[in-house]
């Protein structure tokens, strides 16, 4: 009996600790790996970032979402994308000469260079994109309960321009660059831009 008590005295705290860690990972935050160059220069391929599942999604937040049944090319339920929210529900979004307009107002894109703003962005609005790429929903505004997302590296990003909107229920959480990352500009461009 004494041996059982001794074993339980160290096994029980380990089990409780593992249960707490699983609850935190499932409901509060987890770590993910960025796959590909679509969020450069702010997030690099293979970079590990935190995903805060309780954070509120705002315009210019960087989010992780399950791309299965969002992007037709995402053929597995395990495919997750990292993109920046440009359009919130009810917003109009357009692009002209490298500038993004939300509800008719130019939004600051200081988080990427002029080159990244103009290469691959083009001139479009939600209606023209929805017709050109045959989205399921053809509209001039971001639908209720959806987001419109873009990658920061526009010329290589497979994003909302091609397949449409991300349902809110598909969003896993808001990306945060960990405090130990030494690049303060990158931390600001990812962590502090949601408005």
DSSP assigned state of 143 = P
Residue with tokens 């529900």: 89
Could you state, in order of their start, the residue ranges of all structural domains in the chain? Answer: 30-191
pLDDT range class, residue 6, cuts 50, 70, 90: low
- Cα(53)–Cα(187) distance, integer angstroms: 18
CB 174 within 8 A of CB 190: no
Main-chain dihedrals φ then ψ at residue 89, nearest 5 degrees: -55, 130
CB 60 within 8 A of CB 85: yes
Instruction: Give the pLDDT confidence of 55-86 residue by residue, as tens digits.
Output: 999 999 999 999 999 999 999 988 999 999 99
Residue with tokens 């987001």: 147
Q: Which residue in the list 80, 83, 170, 176 is annotated as catalytic?
A: 83
Q: Which residue in the list 38, 61, 94, 157 is annotated as catalytic?
A: 38
Please indicate whether residue 141 is annotated as part of the active site: no
Please indicate whether residue 38 is annotated as part of the active site: yes
pLDDT at 182 over 80: no
Q: How far is CA 62 from the centre of its chain?
A: 4
- The number of beta carbons lying within 10 Å of the beta carbon of residue 177 is 22
Instruction: Give the pLDDT confidence of 121-172 residue by residue, as tens digits.
Output: 789 999 999 999 999 888 999 999 999 999 999 989 999 999 999 999 999 9
Q: For residue 56, is it left (φ>0), alpha (ψ between -120 and 50) or beta?
A: beta
CATH class of the domain at 30-191: mainly beta
Q: How far is CA 189 from the centre of its chain?
A: 13
CB 155 within 8 A of CB 41: no
pLDDT range class, residue 11, cuts 50, 70, 90: low
């Amino acid at each position: 009996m004494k041996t059982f008590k001794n074993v339980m005295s160290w096994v029980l705290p380990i089990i409780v600790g593992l249960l707490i860690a699983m609850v935190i990972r499932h409901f509060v935050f987890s770590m993910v790996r960025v796959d590909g160059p679509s969020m450069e220069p702010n997030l690099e391929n293979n970079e590990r970032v935190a995903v805060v599942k309780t954070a509120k999604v705002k315009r210019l937040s960087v989010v992780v979402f399950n791309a299965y049944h969002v992007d037709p090319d995402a053929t597995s339920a395990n495919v997750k994308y990292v993109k920046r929210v440009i359009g919130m529900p009810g917003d109009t979004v357009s692009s002209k000469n490298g500038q993004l307009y939300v509800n008719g107002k130019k939004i600051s894109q200081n988080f990427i260079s002029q080159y990244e703003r103009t290469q691959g962005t083009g001139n479009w609005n939600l209606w023209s994109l929805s017709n050109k790429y045959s989205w399921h929903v053809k509209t001039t505004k971001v639908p209720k309960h959806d987001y419109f997302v873009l990658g920061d590296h526009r010329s290589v990003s497979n994003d909302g321009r091609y397949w449409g909107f991300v349902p809110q229920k598909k969003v896993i959480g808001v990306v945060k660059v960990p405090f130990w990352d030494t690049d303060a500009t990158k931390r600001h461009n990812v962590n502090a831009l949601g408005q």
